[in-house]
């Protein structure tokens, strides 16, 4: 079992993260990864140039670690990998990589799903969309909370 968590201020390369996960997953039968990308439009339809993710010097990383460790405990997986951007993320650029590997596919799918549901509501970030509408603070949606509620 191995858990990797990183908070990146400048760049997130999903291909490199998937490559590292595949390499670490030698012997497993399933590797699942999710990449979250900054959308160029707000939910109201306004153009978004960038997403700005403010973070806390200690609590943000701890929240990522807590979520990754909980996922590793909950599912029969051998690798959990979470890499999250902070700072200014241009529209179209990756924000988060969440991946897992396991002997069988179901655990890897469920682990990645769980990671993202918790990250979307509980990760300690304060996000704002910057674009046509100025700077707009973003909070989790009702759908995000409902998704997270599925895991009990």
Partner 1 sequence: MRVTFHGRLADLLGRDLEVAVDTPCTVAALRSRMIETWPQMAQPLGDRRVRACVGNKLVPDDHPLDGTDDVEFLAPVSGG
Residues at the site binding partner 1, with contacts judged by CB under 8 A: 36, 53-54, 56-59, 64, 84, 95-96, 119-127, 137-140, 144
Q: Which is nearer to partner 1, 105 or 137 (CB)?
A: 137
Least CB distance to partner 1 at residue 84 (A) = 6
Least CB distance to partner 1 at residue 117 (A) = 10
DSSP state of 27: T
Least CB distance to partner 1 at residue 141 (A) = 9
Strands 48-55 and 134-138: unpaired
Contact 80, 68 (CB under 8 A): yes
Contact 108, 114 (CB under 8 A): no
Q: Which is nearer to partner 1, 30 or 53 (CB)?
A: 53
CA distances from 96 to 11, 85, 103 (A): 10, 6, 24
């Amino acid at each position: 079992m191995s858990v990797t968590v990183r908070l990146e201020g400048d760049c997130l390369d999903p291909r490199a993260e998937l490559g590292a996960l595949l390499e670490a997953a030698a012997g497993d039968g399933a590797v699942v990864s999710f990449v979250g990308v900054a959308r160029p439009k707000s939910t109201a339809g306004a153009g978004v140039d960038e997403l700005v993710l403010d973070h806390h010097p200690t609590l943000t990383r701890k929240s990522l670690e807590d979520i990754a460790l909980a996922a590793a405990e909950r599912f029969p997986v051998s690798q959990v990998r979470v890499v999250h951007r902070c700072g200014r993320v241009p529209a179209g650029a990756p924000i988060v990589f969440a991946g897992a590997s396991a002997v069988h596919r179901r655990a890897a799918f469920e682990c990645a799903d769980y990671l993202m549901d918790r990250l979307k509501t509980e990760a300690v970030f304060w996000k704002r969309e910057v674009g046509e509408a100025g700077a707009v603070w973003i909070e989790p949606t009702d759908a995000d909370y409902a998704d997270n509620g599925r895991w009990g």
